Amino acid sequence: MCFAVHERQYLYYLIIKVIAMSSVVTLIILLMALAGICLAIIFFHNKSKQQQAGLLANRFATLAGVHQLRLSVTDKLVHGMLGIDYGLGRLFVVQEPGEWLIDIGSLQHCRKIKKWLHIPAGNGKQQPETHLEKIVLLCERKQPGVPVELVFYEYRHNSIFQMQELDQQANYWEILINQQIKHHEKLPA
């Protein structure tokens, strides 16, 4: 009788141990499945971004060929690409929603602008906050009209860790375009 009681207690102990182990195993399987799903989402998102960048680069190269441009310097923007043809003195921009082929001689100057997003106080915030929304290069024309805005950084599409690099990229293009504007002003008409 005593042996049967110990045997029954041992059987209950084994059943509880198996249930506890199966819960741990189930939890591990669920966590691995969740991690796999997250990795798949990241993979397909990155693949989609690479495909979009490839399509943009192909479109940019095709349109540059159509306009018979020999682009000396090219770069990527948030929503497009830009390049400069020193020989023809043209700035070529492919950016949503369209494309621009700009004669550098028609530009007055380019300047980098940082646009700030102002968030008012409220909803538990003691003070208003400001965050960098965009870094743009604004190219103004000699003739009155809408300036060309080249977006290098936008908080919705870029990481804060890219901000410094893209700010330097905008500085580089500001200097490059302004040098070309000065060069074209010196050329005889």
pLDDT at 136 exceeding the cut of 90: yes
Least confident of 13-17, 83-87, 103-107, 155-159: 13-17
Q: What is the value of pTM for the model shown?
A: 0.70
pLDDT at 170 exceeding the cut of 90: yes
Average pLDDT for 166-180: 93
Q: What's the pLDDT at 135?
A: 93
How far CA 148 is from CA of 91, 106, 139, 158, 189, in Å, comes to 11, 12, 5, 21, 24
CATH class of the 69-186 domain in this structure? mainly beta
Q: 51-68, pLDDT tens digit by residue?
A: 777 777 788 788 888 888
Q: Which residue has the higher pLDDT, 26 or 166?
A: 166
Q: What's the pLDDT at 38?
A: 82
